[in-house]
Every structure is written in structure tokens, then in C-alpha cells.
Amino acid sequence: MAKVLIVEARFYDHLNDLLLEGARAAIEAAGHEHETVTVPGALEVPGAIAIADAAETYDAFVALGVIIRGETYHFEVVSNESARGIMNLSLEGVPVGNGILTVENEAQALTRAKKDEKDKGGEAAKAALAMLALRERFSV
């Protein structure tokens, strides 16, 4: 049984609740344990995963959050840099699923977050578990 850490950037409570529901359901359906920690924003998610990974307490990680385009360039910075940080972790062999939504509006976020629609939280959890299985397959 794997232990999965869900790291969420809680900015939009109602949207995060939906993402968490999907991620937790997918992890539990696969027979694994999970815990959740909350960070201030999407930029802090990769750092929190790196800190937790260094502690060697968790087997896989799920990154969750919602970034909705605003009127400034900040959307691009947060979207790109959080994705880059998660990709860097992945390239280092950390099993992580990226469920940070980058959307134009709340309606898009709702569609992607709802478990009975696109279930991006659940998909991110499944991706993390798939990467964990791959790492275990190739471990010596």
C-alpha cells in the first residue's frame, strides 16, 4: 500500500473541494492511503512536494490547485512556473500527478474539477500512481 501526499493550493475553496474529492476517491479506489497539506498558492506546490519528498515519508504526490486567468500577466507566470516546478520534480523521478487547473474562467474550472465530469483531481491521482508503478518497475 502506497502513501500519497496531496498538496493543494487552496485559493478557490469550492473548486479545490471538487478536485480533492476526485483525487481522494481515485487513491482510495486503488487501495492506497493519503494525506493532504495546503499551501498558499500554486507557486508553492512544487516546493512543498520537494520538501516532503526529501523526508521520504510519501511514495507519490498529487498537485492540486486552480489558476484562473485575470487581467494581468500574473496568470502566465503562475501557470508556467508551477508547471515547470512539477515537471522538474517528475524528471528527477518523483512520482507526481499534476492536477493544477489553468483556465480562462470559473465555468471551465467547474467542468474540469467535478468528479462526474472531467475529474482532473482523480486523473492527477491516477497519473501519480502510474508513475509510482513505473518507478517501482524499474527500481533495482
pLDDT digits (tens, 9 = 90+) for 1-28: 999 999 999 989 999 999 999 999 999 9
Asked if residue 112 belongs to a known ligand binding site, the reply is yes
Asked if residue 68 belongs to a known ligand binding site, the reply is yes
Task: Tell me, yes or no, if 14 is annotated catalytic.
Answer: no
Kindly report the pTM of this predicted structure: 0.96
CA distance 63 to 104: 19
Cβ-Cβ contacts under 8 Å for 107 (sequence gap 6 or more)? none
Asked if residue 100 belongs to a known ligand binding site, the reply is no
Mean pLDDT of all residues in the chain? 96
Asked if residue 129 belongs to a known ligand binding site, the reply is no
Please give the helix or strand (H or E) that residue 66 lies within, else none. Answer: strand 60-68
The pLDDT value given to residue 73: 85
Domain layout of the chain by residue ranges: 3-138
Q: Look up the CATH architecture of domain 3-138.
A: 3-Layer(aba) Sandwich (3.40)
Amino acid at residue number 6: I
Taking residues 40-62, report their average pLDDT.
97
Percentage of the chain beyond pLDDT 70 is 99
